[in-house]
Amino acid sequence: MQAIILAAGMGKRLKELTDGNTKCMVKVNGLSMIERMLSQLDRLNLERIVLVVGYRGQQLIDYIQTLTVKTRIEYVNNEIYDKTNNIYSLYMAKEYLLEDDTLLLESDLIFEDALLEKIVKDPYPSLALVAKYESWMDGTVVTLGEDRSIKQFLGKKEFVFEDIPKYYKTVNIYKFSQSFSETHYVPFLEAYCKALGHNEYYEQVLKVITLLERPEIKALPLENEIWYEIDDIQDLDIAESIFATEEDHLQKFQKRFGGYWRYPHMLDFCYLVNPFFPNQKLLDEIKANFDRLISEYPSGMEVNSLLAAKYFGLHKDQICIGNGAAELIKSLMGMIDGKLGIVMPTFEEYPNRRNEKDLEIFIPDNQNFSYGVNDLKKYFDTKNISALSIINPDNPSGNYIPKDDLIRLIQWGKRKNIKIIIDESFVDFAGEENSSLLDETVIEKYSNLIVIKSISKSFGVPGLRLGVLATSDYTIIEKIKKEVSIWNINSFAEFYMQICEKYKNDYQEGLRNFRETRKKFLDALVKIKGVRIVPTQANFVLCELTSGVHSIELSKQLLVQKNILIKDISSKKGLNGGQYIRLAIRNDEDNRVLLMALNELINN
């Protein structure tokens, strides 16, 4: 068996990275794509590797000669690479196809060894490696019939988004038997080039072949094997996160702060989202209005404040809406004079917006990091603070303070002229009925109260970026409304606020389902030896690793071995250097996967 690599292209979409070298010489985590591919092929004991070069061909050849590759390498030069497409590059190598069984690859791919092992070991002689279509993929897709037969090769013109569940993307790794090349591929390749020219793609030939009664080529679908095609700088960035070394893998993912829909096989137990809302009917209503929403401007702050006020039962002058709670927190922290009281460990968006010298920090002196109103009053009563920020339930501890107790804290703050900031982004997950302080009577009565709520967490729509701030301190409301941009939320977020009231019963049902799921998850988690769970009223749980396992190492192994992302928080302020992880709580199926992985890795 031999391999043919098509490497004649210019790689213009990689911009300056291909100004001085070829596309396949671009490095991914310090190793060029062509060096990685050649080393992988070298381990297969092939008869030879044939490279079709073009753009900066001699430079690529010179570079390859500096590499350690034991397999014989031969070169074909496509001198008109800038006027042709890859069908011509393969046409120039057609004589090689006739001489041996062939692995055909494109040079802009990065993949794990398992892909080559899979296609080489499969007994069927001629195969196209394919993967279930995902949003990041571009190029040729196929549909499959029974026995892995390829029904159609579809280009961009034939692509129908409604049919995505049926589609597979060609990975651009093929296995052609010598016989298939002789009887099918090369004759059709020659005829196609003669009839339609050289500015096409070699998959077009396969498209024609699949129309035959016996095309002699089948698909080989991937399962969980990892690969990526690198066409532009964003592709390179994603590939570097996927194929990072074990040491860097976790760090590269954490630095992304989301966007994990680009990694469809990864389970995200790091970011905190309601798994039971929104329901399908709400999503369908948004989809039905997609065309109009994407083509029209959203309303300004006043209209959107009215929508938020309607949902939460407030007056529109008591509330403002933000592009996520983070926008409102940033704005609010810039308005607070004097020192800010906080409890640690906590959600660090609040302290990070203040100078360290302007913080007064309370750390609960117990292993569960639990505290109540009496603890807060006792500690802060003699401290010179102008505001006190409480996350309720707290993040990451899950500590919860009942509503009546919070009212006592607000009253204490009013007497001492202290603003009480209550972030209740997770309060809907708590077991207490009517736990929210987003109540017009409460807001109006206590002008020192400021309530912030992220819509992302409990309502399960982080992609919409929605948050609200409510207070009867109208100076703060007016300042924030003036400070944020006139269109600080988009039309989809506005439409969600407009329709979500219709789904209040569904939302409450989702919360009930979640609480049942949380109980089952915690009951199972507590049985894993070496894990101590901290009682929680939120949609996450803080866990201490007690058997000598390091939290950072466990987090790395979960990502590398199990494709599960969790939050290592051992370095978080207030945790005193202990080994702690925070786990989001998802649906039963996902939770079972995590529990099995934790049990396996911790016990080993």
Q: How do residues 150-174 score in pLDDT, each as one tens digit? A: 998 887 788 888 888 899 999 999 9
Helix/strand/coil for 382: coil
Domain check: are 289 and 158 in the same one?
A: no
Write out the residue range of the structural domain in which residue 304 sits. 280-502
Q: Rounded to the nearest 10 degrees, how much is the dihedral formed by the CA atoms of 200, 202, 205, 207?
A: -90
CA 513 to chain centroid? 25
Domain check: are 35 and 8 in the same one?
A: yes
Could you say which DSSP state residue 57 is in?
Answer: H
Angle between helices 504-525 and 588-603 (to 10 degrees): 20
Domain check: are 344 and 392 in the same one?
A: yes
The residue among 598, 593, 596 whose CA lies nearest residue 581 is 598
Domain check: are 291 and 211 in the same one?
A: no
CATH code at position 515: 3.90.1150.10
450: β partners: 421
Domain check: are 253 and 125 in the same one?
A: no
CA 85 to chain centroid? 34
Number of domains in the chain: 3
Predicted local confidence at residue 366, as pLDDT: 94
Domain check: are 477 and 532 in the same one?
A: no
Predicted local confidence at residue 261, as pLDDT: 66
Q: How far apart are CA 217 and CA 543, in angstroms?
A: 51
Domain check: are 548 and 476 in the same one?
A: no
Domain check: are 262 and 287 in the same one?
A: no
Q: How far apart are CA 440 and CA 472, in angstroms?
A: 9
CATH code at position 402: 3.40.640.10
Neighbours of 165 (CB within 10 A): 7
Domain check: are 39 and 81 in the same one?
A: yes
Going by DSSP bridges, is the β-strand pair 531-533/466-470 parallel, antiparallel, or unpaired?
A: unpaired
| Distance, first Cα to last Cα, the chain | 41
Predicted local confidence at residue 195, as pLDDT: 79
CATH code at position 217: 3.90.550.10
Cβ proximity of 140 and 87 under 8 Å? no
Instruction: Locate 345 and state its tokens.
Output: 């460990």
Cβ proximity of 239 and 230 under 8 Å? yes
Q: Which of 451, 468, 502 is the last residue of a domain?
A: 502
Task: Give pLDDT < 50 ranges for the chain.
Answer: none
